[in-house]
Structure 1
Amino acid sequence: NPHYESTAANHSPIQRGDLILFDFWAHLPDPGAIYADYTWMTFAGTCEEIPLRQREVFEIVKRARDAAIAFVRQRLADNQPVEGRQVDDVTRAVIAEAGYADYFIHRTGHSIGTVVHGNGANLDNYETQDDRVLLPNTCCSVEPGIYLPEFGIRSEVNLLVFEHDAEITGVPPQQEITPLL
């Protein structure tokens, strides 16, 4: 489940050896404030204890995330429109090439505004085939993921779109699973 949420009836303590997906969002206490929305992968253990397969899957997700960002930036630099579905296709191609197409089970990203899931173009050719163009001065998430029966990995950044470029806002993109010990 890419959006698992623990409840009073469905939870367990974090234990050494657990892979932890933190999905968090917030905004300043102003009615017009824009949200920030991130996903970060951590491991309850040392760097040396992170299983190789989890590292490998993270690298694929990272490549997919970075390919999406590079695609958006290149299209904008070339003064070409960028449709949400095109970005999703680029991301999915990276994951499919690695053999995990069936395990990427949501869109690549969503619009972000004064609500965490905004009204602009979504990076989606999976759920809604969004052909809307990313507009200047809008923000979206880029959050590919691979969800296997044993574990799931996602990496999420926020991308602020300008007329001829885009930039990642907030924290720098995660480059590896973060050990907690």
Structure 2
Amino acid sequence: MPDLDAAFMETAARELKSRGIDAWLLYDFRARNPLAAHLVGLPEGQKRRYFVLVEPGREPHALVQKIEVSGWAGWPHRLTSYVGWDEMEAELRGMLDGMASVAMEVSSRDSIPYVDNVPAGVVELVESLGPRVVSSVDLISGTAAQWGARGHETHHEAAEILARTARTAFELAARAAGLSPEVDPGTAGGFDTSGEPTPETEHDLAEWIRARLRAEGLAEADTIVAVGPNAAKPHYEPQAEGSSTLAAGHVFMVDLWGRTADEPEAVFADQTWMGFLGAEPPTDVTAAWDAVVAARDAAVDLIRENPVATGADADRVARQTLIDRGYEDAIFHRTGHGIDRELHGVGPTLDSIEMRDDRRLSAGVGFSVEPGVYLEGRFGHRTEIDVYMREDGPEVTPSRIQYNLWRTTKA
């Protein structure tokens, strides 16, 4: 049943007033604007255009094509129907009467494509009726991207499960390679896998991780397991046929994510951990690892020290750290993405290269910090943590993050 969450309406009104914007005009057509579809409660979209006006101090107002009014059964707010385009434009003109500005999901020059979901023609239409259209990106940070108390709690639960699972995955990889993992007191301990069969390939281990995450109560969980040259492919997906064996002498990468099952407000956790299946990694392996750790920490330090830092600021400092260490040609992606009830959420990203994300990293939002270097044909390193912005600064998860490259000894 379509509706607007009461907490959203309250925070949206507050954000609109603080930014001097008259209203938030949600628009969708066939779920082209997933944010609006989610907020209104019509995630599959509708076959005809609809608008919902959210205005401080007034009841939300939906404008819906007459044939689709039945899909709005139970909508507890004002609803107006239209048949033809001329009637739609006339009704919309009345809704927007006297307004100087309305926020919509647009982004100048597509600088933040996550929220650039309203067609240029719709913007042209709205502006022809009076108000100037401004971007809703900052409103989103204060509303849809907010974790909330339960989201924050579930994120922590998922983060600790991921950390233990990652460590266990490395221990299983070491066992498969005929090695024993060195203890790392700085990170979480693994699960007990005595009596379980030993995965032999990247794909086998990925399947084990998925099963473990489900057993621990996570949903929408998945993983990337990569060894050796495959770790230099950021979005490598090991297949049942042809994935590499878990053999000694290789860099080991595990990237894994998930959220608490059966919790509508659950927030994702997303982590990447690295190891070496051997006792003494080559110097180029340790140098690259030290570089990504330094880049990760530089980004977090900047956010901690600068209360008005943007995602682009954090990306630039992490990227420069890697460049200063000689890895400019090995950087393939941004430093981090927004995280909320979606793995790649609608809040600020740490990005100055793929996008120009100048949104402030404001309280209540969360994101990943995951710098990486990828030496094609050899190996790659990525270290990934998550950050939640508290009122007093960044909070990092999981509770114990990785500083030392995991290593092994002979069995």
TM-score by length of 1: 0.92
Give the whole-Å Cα distance in 2 for the aligned partners of 1:141 and 1:147: 18
Which structure has the larger Rg?
2
Aligned residue for 2:381, secondary structure, equals strand
Moved more, 160-169 or 52-61: 160-169
Equivalent position of 1:136 in the other structure: 363
1:52 maps to which of 283, 301, 311: 283
Equivalent position of 2:28 in the other structure: none
Q: For residues 10 and 84 of structure 1, do their structure 2 counterparts lie closer, same or farther at Cα, with a shift above 3 Å needed?
A: farther
Aligned residue for 2:358, secondary structure, equals coil
Give the whole-Å Cα distance in 2 for the aligned partners of 1:109 and 1:176: 21
1:162 aligns with 2:390: yes
Equivalent position of 2:256 in the other structure: 24
Equivalent position of 2:90 in the other structure: none
Q: Which runs of 5+ in 2 are unaligned?
A: 1-232
Equivalent position of 1:11 in the other structure: 243
Give the whole-Å Cα distance in 2 for the aligned partners of 1:116 and 1:51: 34
Q: Residues 31-180 of structure 1: matches in 2 within 5 Å? A: 31-46=264-279, 49-76=280-307, 81-149=308-376, 150-180=378-408
Larger relative CO (CA 8 A, sep 6+): 1 or 2? Answer: 1
Q: CA deviation at 1:45?
A: 2.2
CA offsets 1:61-98 (integer angstroms, 9 cap, x no match): 1000000000000012xxxx221111100001101111
The amino acid of 2:342's aligned partner reads: V
CA offsets 1:104-148 (integer angstroms, 9 cap, x no match): 110000111111111101000110111112121111100001101
The amino acid of 1:152's aligned partner reads: G
CA offsets 1:38-69 (integer angstroms, 9 cap, x no match): 000012223xx222211111001100000000
Q: CA deviation at 1:13?
A: 1.2
Aligned residue for 1:178, secondary structure, equals coil
User: Percent identity, aligned pairs only?
Assistant: 37
Give the whole-Å Cα distance in 2 for the aligned partners of 1:171 and 1:178: 17
Aligned residue for 2:255, secondary structure, equals strand
Aligned residue for 2:288, secondary structure, equals helix
The amino acid of 2:382's aligned partner reads: R
Give the whole-Å Cα distance in 1 for the aligned partners of 2:345 and 2:303: 19
The amino acid of 2:336's aligned partner reads: G
Q: Which has the higher helix share?
A: 2
User: What is the number of equivalent residue pairs in this alignment?
Assistant: 175
Runs of 4+ residues deviating >6 angstroms: none
Give the whole-Å Cα distance in 2 for the aligned partners of 1:164 and 1:178: 32
Aligned residue for 2:295, secondary structure, equals helix
Give the whole-Å Cα distance in 2 for the aligned partners of 1:124 and 1:141: 11
Give the whole-Å Cα distance in 1 for the aligned partners of 2:339 and 2:351: 14
Give the whole-Å Cα distance in 2 for the aligned partners of 1:124 and 1:14: 33
Give the whole-Å Cα distance in 1 for the aligned partners of 2:374 and 2:244: 20
Aligned residue for 2:306, secondary structure, equals helix
Aligned residue for 2:401, secondary structure, equals coil
Q: Which runs of 5+ in 1 are unaligned?
A: none
Give the whole-Å Cα distance in 2 for the aligned partners of 1:28 and 1:82: 30
The amino acid of 2:386's aligned partner reads: N
1:55, 1:176 within 8 Å by CA — same for their partners in 2? no
